[in-house]
Amino acid sequence: MQWLINTLIWLPAIIIGLTFHEYAHGRVAYWLGDDTPYYQGRLTLNPLPHIDWVGFFMLLFFKFGWAKPVEVNPYNFRNSGVKQGMMLVSLAGPAMNLMLALTGMLILKFYGIDPGAGFSLYTNSTVLLLVGPLVYINLILAVFNLIPLPPLDGSKILAGLLPDSGAQFMYSIEQYGPLILLLFIITGAFGKILNPLVNIMYSLLYTAVF
């Protein structure tokens, strides 16, 4: 029963965060001149086209999952170079998650609800139960995807900032990225990296709004 309650509390925020994240990737790619996301039906805020059902059920039962990646053809970009375009497309997803987290925090501020400097859902406030997960989940998605490890967005953002030789190296290790990522998750190393960064981002956001 507790698992069901937790799922009902967190699931809407997870779906919103993943949907807006992938939509942002597709929208920026489209703005840059690539119509691949348009023809694949990804320029929508309907969650269904963005859901990878294996990743979705992994998320529900194992607390780690993924959405369906937006396919992009950087050689279609007309408004930027390939490397810079991919950097912008990759940055769009985490940036959208940060915007959603900020929006959630502003909603809490509007209702006069102080969530505290340390995140907690031990409350009888309906608004905090609805909006609090939106803040925290989107911070997790933003920080997680900014880690510069393929296939995460951070690797392509870093590649866009590096000289061509460095960018080529980042792309060359992309095939090993999922295995490295899985190893980090299994060993628990990822949590030791992710949790402090999320807490720092939460503190910065809280301080900025409250």
Cβ-count burial 139-155 (b if 16+ within 10 Å, e if not) = bbbbbbbbbebbebbbb
Establish whether 174 is a catalytic residue: no
How far is 124 from 21, CA to CA, in rounded Å?
Answer: 30
The answer, yes or no, to whether residue 67 has pLDDT greater than 90, is yes
Q: Which range has the worst mean pLDDT, 4-8, 160-164, 202-206? A: 4-8
132's tokens: 């609090």
Exactly one of 16, 22, 80, 142 is catalytic; name it: 22
The answer, yes or no, to whether residue 135 has pLDDT greater than 90, is yes
Mind listing the pLDDT tens digit for each residue in 189-200? 778 889 999 999
Q: Which pLDDT band holds residue 9 (cuts at 50, 70, 90)?
A: confident
Q: Which pLDDT band holds residue 1 (cuts at 50, 70, 90)?
A: low
The answer, yes or no, to whether residue 122 has pLDDT greater than 70, is no
How far is 78 from 74, CA to CA, in rounded Å?
Answer: 9
Q: Which class for 127: exposed (0-12), middle (13-18), buried (19 or more C-beta within 10 A)?
A: middle
Residue that wins the pLDDT comparison between 128 and 1: 128
Mind listing the pLDDT tens digit for each residue in 32-64? 999 999 999 999 999 999 999 998 888 888 778
How far is 104 from 134, CA to CA, in rounded Å?
Answer: 6
Domain boundaries along the sequence of the chain: 2-209
Share of the chain above pLDDT 90, in %: 60
